[in-house]
Structure 1
Amino acid sequence: MGLAARKARSRLPGPGLLRLAVALCAVLLLWGCAPGADDEPVLRVDLSRRQETVVPVPQAGITYAYLPQYSHTTSYKRHHLLVEYLAKATGLPLRQVFPNTFDEHVKMVAQGQIDISFTNPFVYIKLARQGALSFARTIKSSGKDAFCSEIICRSDNRALKTLADCRGKRWIAVDPLSAGGFLFALGHFHDLGIKRQDFAEIAFAPGPGGKQENVVLAVLAGKYDFGTIREGTLEVLKGRVDLDQIRILARTRAYPEWLFAARKGLDERVVDKIAQAMFALSPDNPEHAAILEAAGLKGIIPARDQDFDPVRDLVRKLELD
């Protein structure tokens, strides 16, 4: 054996040291496997028993939406009895959904996420271009099937005595797609020779929802000189704000009332069932009367697309097409 091999062999542990190392490893291994070595018990898994995980899916059914002129809470309170009645009368799984803005409402109808839309006639014109079709319109609790815009200011605003005084003032409206809260008033000013550029500012109420209320509150707070709301809004807010501080400066001419429209492609049999259930509502029936009263309605009558041509004429006059 050479010198290098003898030196390498001399560096290897002897048999006694090897046996000692093996014994220590065995002791440590047994200690780790002994009961009580860990605080946690051994968990035995039976792979023969499995449970499938169910992924939740969106609730199916016919969707119904109220164009969000009021808060979601108000929209629900006004129409949830109607939705429940329609579901029971038709046997269809109707449910109310709540878009946050007018624009979102329009997009959801186009995408098939809203089947039945309760909307103003101005928004309906846009929906009709997407293929939606009106099938019913409302008669308000006042007995009228048409409505107007109210131009309001603070009762102590001495600078506003006539509509001509609105020139150069700050105007807050409901939404660019609001009929009573903007379009009708814009047309009324137009007929008086007052154009959009004649106002110091035209602002729109912040959302989501509650836009009619927000117009009234902004006028009350003095943030704007005057505002425009749909007829009937002040009645909705009675008891929530001091209406003695609000003065109605003017009212516009009336246009066809709000309506119900079905999205493009909705089964005609579904639409017919819903329409017939709506037309059957009678204020002489106590149960029906409660539903109609909550919604601020006297009844629901059939509608045709051409019923809303006066609004189309207004849109053309204002070059909003």
Structure 2
Amino acid sequence: MNTRHFTALLVFLLLALFGLQGCGEDEPVVYVDMTKRQEVRVPEALPAITYAYLPQYSHTVSYRRHNPLIEYIAAETGLSLRQVFPDTFEEHRRMVERGDIDISFSNPFTYVSIAKTGARAFARIVEPSGSTNFRGQIIARTDNLLIQNLQDCRGKRWIAVDPLSAGGYLFALGHFLDHGIHPEDFAEIAFAPGPGGKQEKAVLAVYAGKYDIASIREGTLDVVKDKIDPERLRIVATTRDYPGWVYAARKGLPQEVVKAIADALFKLSMQKPEHAAILAGAGMSRIIPATDRDYEPIRELVAKTRFNEAAYDGRQDNAEGAQ
């Protein structure tokens, strides 16, 4: 037997000896009565108003932009609020319909969809520029010399944010139609894959050269500027403006709750440093009252682009069933 084997055997025998000493005959025996049991209940989450930001960006960005705002509303109203994170635009829409989202912050296209389920607008934002409206943009790589203007987009590969995205799809589609360019004129129309972060994904897909053009909401390039070299992308076209992002309350949410939240939002002012940080972080300069009538231009755009919501729902259901 060599030295290494002898040493291993010696260690084993010593451990066994100590183990036997720990199991002596005078060691007390603990009796466990298995007939006496006590159920341990997992504490249920306290009731809270659920708040969701349509997932145009990643969940991390959504949290960072809106958590200070949620904390402000809670402190101002005494209500308990909890931010929830739908993975897709469609999931957001369906959660509002089911009552799983109480307060929805969404683009106007998603709003006119959830309004069909009884949700109602009560506030809208003023953009950092001071406008109550916003626009979409069509971008391409700077070094793509084949795309110099909107007409050059014919026959190219287009990636949009989501079929339910306003600035990231519907505004651009309406803009193309106004200039005589139809969906069948593109080599491909694709939508950013996966949950959340779809605005970034559309930008990065063009940046990497996978697609020729992308449609995004105005302001997205500023949000992703830490991930790209802005000089390598350029804006090919900008759409007309439409009513801005909107706060809506789900059907059945008590009116006193809606009023308390609305009053808190309307108090926010860029003139107060603590409020300015909250507003700027969320990409807003002010929050003002809104009504459902403010979004008639979106309904007109839906009619013009002939967006078939029922057909879209069917595609979504088929995709979910295949997963």
TM-based fold match above 0.5: yes
1:134 aligns with 2:121: yes
**Letter of the aligned partner of 1:43 in structure 2?**
V
Superposed, which structure 2 residues align to 1:301-320 within 5 Å? Answer: 301-320=288-307
1:72 aligns with 2:69: no
Superposed, which structure 2 residues align to 1:1-321 within 5 Å? Answer: 42-45=29-32, 51-321=38-308
Shift of 1:304: 0.5
> For residues 129 and 40 of structure 1, do their structure 2 counterparts lie closer, same or farther at Cα, with a shift above 3 Å needed?
farther
Task: Please give the per-residue CA displacement for 1:216-260, whole angstroms capped at 9, x wherever unaligned.
Answer: 100011000100000000111122210000010000000001010
1:28 aligned partner = none
TM-score for the superposition, normalised by structure 2:
0.85
Shift of 1:46: 5.6
CA distance in 2, matches of 1:131, 1:61: 21
Long gaps (5+) in structure 2: 1-22, 309-323
**Letter of the aligned partner of 2:220 in structure 1?**
T
> For residues 39 and 276 of structure 1, do their structure 2 counterparts lie closer, same or farther at Cα, with a shift above 3 Å needed?
farther
**Letter of the aligned partner of 2:282 in structure 1?**
A
**Letter of the aligned partner of 2:222 in structure 1?**
E
Task: Please give the per-residue CA displacement for 1:11-69, whole angstroms capped at 9, x wherever unaligned.
Answer: xxxxxxxxxxxxxxxxxxxxxxxxx7989863323689754411343452000000000
> For residues 40 and 316 of structure 1, do their structure 2 counterparts lie closer, same or farther at Cα, with a shift above 3 Å needed?
farther
> For residues 40 and 109 of structure 1, do their structure 2 counterparts lie closer, same or farther at Cα, with a shift above 3 Å needed?
farther
CA distance in 2, matches of 1:132, 1:283: 29
> For residues 48 and 160 of structure 1, do their structure 2 counterparts lie closer, same or farther at Cα, with a shift above 3 Å needed?
closer
Q: Secondary structure at the match of 1:260?
A: strand
CA distance in 2, matches of 1:240, 1:223: 17
> For residues 47 and 154 of structure 1, do their structure 2 counterparts lie closer, same or farther at Cα, with a shift above 3 Å needed?
closer
CA distance in 2, matches of 1:143, 1:207: 33
> For residues 304 and 42 of structure 1, do their structure 2 counterparts lie closer, same or farther at Cα, with a shift above 3 Å needed?
same
**Letter of the aligned partner of 1:218 in structure 2?**
A
CA distance in 1, matches of 2:199, 2:59: 12
Q: Secondary structure at the match of 1:229?
A: strand
**Letter of the aligned partner of 1:210 in structure 2?**
G
